[in-house]
Structure 1
Amino acid sequence: MAEDDLNDSKAELSLHSSGDMLRHAREQKNLSIEDIAKTTRIPQRHLKSIEAGDFAALPGRTYAIGFAKSYARAVGISEVTIGTQLREEMDEQGHAAYQPETSGYSPANPTSIPPKMLAFTAAGIGALVLVGYLIWRTLVLEPSSLATDINETDVAGEVLDENQTGTPQVAAGPAPAQTGTVVLTATEKVWLKIYDEDGERLFEKEMAAGEKFTVPADAKGPQILTGRPDALTVTIDGQVVPALGTAERTIKDVGISAAALLARGEAGAGAGTIATQNGNDDSDTN
């Protein structure tokens, strides 16, 4: 009697195919076919074929087993069990040696096969394009030749009086507030990287138009790297400050704390003031 019960249990279990097991596990987790497709990057039509046991609709035995194992991992059941059972089911249905349909195709005319030289030429062109891209990326995103120009813009409040000895002078005026909330707003698609003075990355992505990033108030000497400073609007407590740069020049290691931005603005304003004073002195002398 006990042996009959055991046989009945095994018969009941055998009624559940690998597709049934996967579907049941998916439904237990309240997941849709679309959810599984997004997780595994397997087309929904293949997932549905696996659940239905329609192996002829799949691209091949190896792919079918691989897809089923990925499906199993996504719903949290044993991929080994699913793989073994799927092999048995495919064997029973006559798919023991099933391969993609295209695997049996061969050119009717040997002359239609592309020559090896064409393949080598294509590979060479691809390599040249890759090298060119890497060189362009290095020059645009890491322009070491621009380091001197960029560092010069970080000097705060110093103005060179060309009519005197060339000694830098600090423009007089009230000291600006050194704190405030700095917000970067993208006016169009732009890639940027924000990091602190120790090189620790704080933010890095390609921002869409209208997207904002608030510089952490506790960041230690925050700086920016971007190839499109003109695509960013910078504000401190809602007040727009001068642009970080132009479209033709990549900026790197430019300070974007409130203190650094205000210092840049004061430097520009001081230069204008002294230039005006020099113009007045020249006219009085004449």
Structure 2
Amino acid sequence: MGDDSPSEDEFRFHTVGEQLKAARERLGFSLADLAARTRVPMRHLESIEKSDFAALPGSTYTLGFARSYARAVELDAIKVSADLRSELAQGGHEGYQAPLQNYEPTDPARVPSRTLAWTAAVIGVLVVAGYFIWRSMMLDAAVDITMPAPMAQNAALTPAAGKSAAAPSPDAVATGGLVVLTATDTVWVKIYDIENKRLFEKEMQSGDSFTVPQDANKPMIVTGRPEVLNVTVGGKAVPTLGPPEKTVADLEISAKALLSRQPAATTTP
């Protein structure tokens, strides 16, 4: 090498700030020029050049500023960031933790203000609260319009599909109300009306029950074990439909008919 060649010491910089400053001066940029290019405040760029990290907003921002500086002066931003991490760690700056991955913070000029952040948080809370209030109101409305279980069961047993649910007729109310048959043992039962229209036919098991439709036209029953059928009219028990193990047929089981035969059937079977 000739005597005019730069010595090795001229290219050896002890800090990242010195490397960045030398690159800036080599390109002929002032700090003001660099601040305009990187959108980093000039005072922060000057603090990086002087390694005055205490004057910077924090280690994470310092790394981001340095990387922006390095790109502006055509240096390897990743290497500069790694060197600066080592420099910060060796300097023992309080609160510094080496990041798990390369991270460049957002330009501080674009970071939302604290007021805006709190406003967004409050709006988020109000939206969540409004959703839960709306959901609670919808659930309450759904409960109000849901048919209670006993009513649903009686509706399922009503044979006249397609007919509107009419209110009980005055005659039905006057004669005692609903007629309900409940099995206490296994028994075959068929119920039909005067026009031989089948209303119910099934082998009932103990605990099964059937409510006779109030609009049925003279409902009648056929069964071979009338003694295992408990019959109520308007919730009140009436005598059995016949003697044990004796088939009854064409026996009217409307409320009026059952109540009219009650006095004559009060004797002990």
**TM band (smaller chain):** 0.3 to 0.5
TM-score under structure 1 normalisation?
0.31
TM-score under structure 2 normalisation?
0.33
The structure, 1 or 2, with the larger RCO (C-alpha pairs under 8 Å, 6+ apart) is 1
Q: Per residue, is there more helix in 1 or in 2?
A: 1
Q: Which of 1 and 2 has greater Rg?
A: 2
